[in-house]
């Protein structure tokens, strides 16, 4: 179950995910508080699927029960088993790009990722011609 939860926590960094405590989880509000660099706190939200996973975990153990290095090793083993090469940072970037392509504005995305600026978030996401063409059709001038 914890492996599935790891994949669902892509808003946070590996260190933030490893440091997650039960008192940082709000099941009713479907949110969690991550503590990042310099003790900076931010709120991230999770899906109904993640809610079901968290609701079924015992409260007597850490949420993920792994250190950052353990999370890195777990992700490496899972990616090898799946035949892909992916890191937690790539998963975080993929999640950000996916959210943006599905309509999340850059300011909200920047806040969720804990970035200091929207420019930092802009560099995180990947644009492609299909996404640019869609944006032009929906919001651009008629040329």
The residues annotated as belonging to the active site are 14, 37, 89, 92, 115, 124
Q: For residues 99 and 124, what is the distance between their CA atoms, to the nearest angstrom?
A: 12
For 118, residues 6+ apart whose C-beta sits below 8 A from its C-beta are 106, 107, 110
The rounded Cα 133 to chain-centroid distance in angstroms is 26
Contact (CB, 8 A) for 79 and 89? no
Helix (H, G, I), strand (E, B) or coil at 78: helix
**DSSP 8-state class, residue 33:** E
* Contacts of 74 by beta carbon, 8 Å cutoff, 6+ apart: 3, 6, 66
- Between β-strands 25-26 and 41-45, what pairing exists: parallel, antiparallel or unpaired? unpaired
């Amino acid at each position: 179950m914890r492996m599935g939860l790891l994949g669902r926590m892509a808003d946070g960094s590996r260190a933030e995910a490893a440091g997650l405590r039960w008192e940082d989880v709000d099941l009713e509000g479907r949110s969690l508080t991550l503590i990042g660099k310099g003790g900076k706190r931010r709120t991230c939200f999770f899906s109904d699927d993640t809610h079901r996973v968290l609701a079924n975990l015992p409260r007597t153990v850490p949420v993920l029960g792994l250190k950052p290095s353990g999370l890195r090793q777990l992700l490496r083993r899972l990616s090898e088993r799946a035949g892909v090469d992916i890191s937690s940072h790539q998963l975080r970037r993929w999640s950000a790009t996916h959210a943006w392509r599905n309509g999340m504005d850059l300011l909200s995305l920047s806040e969720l990722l804990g970035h200091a600026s929207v420019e930092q978030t802009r560099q995180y996401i990947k644009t492609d011609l299909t996404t640019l063409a869609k944006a032009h059709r929906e919001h651009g001038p008629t040329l």
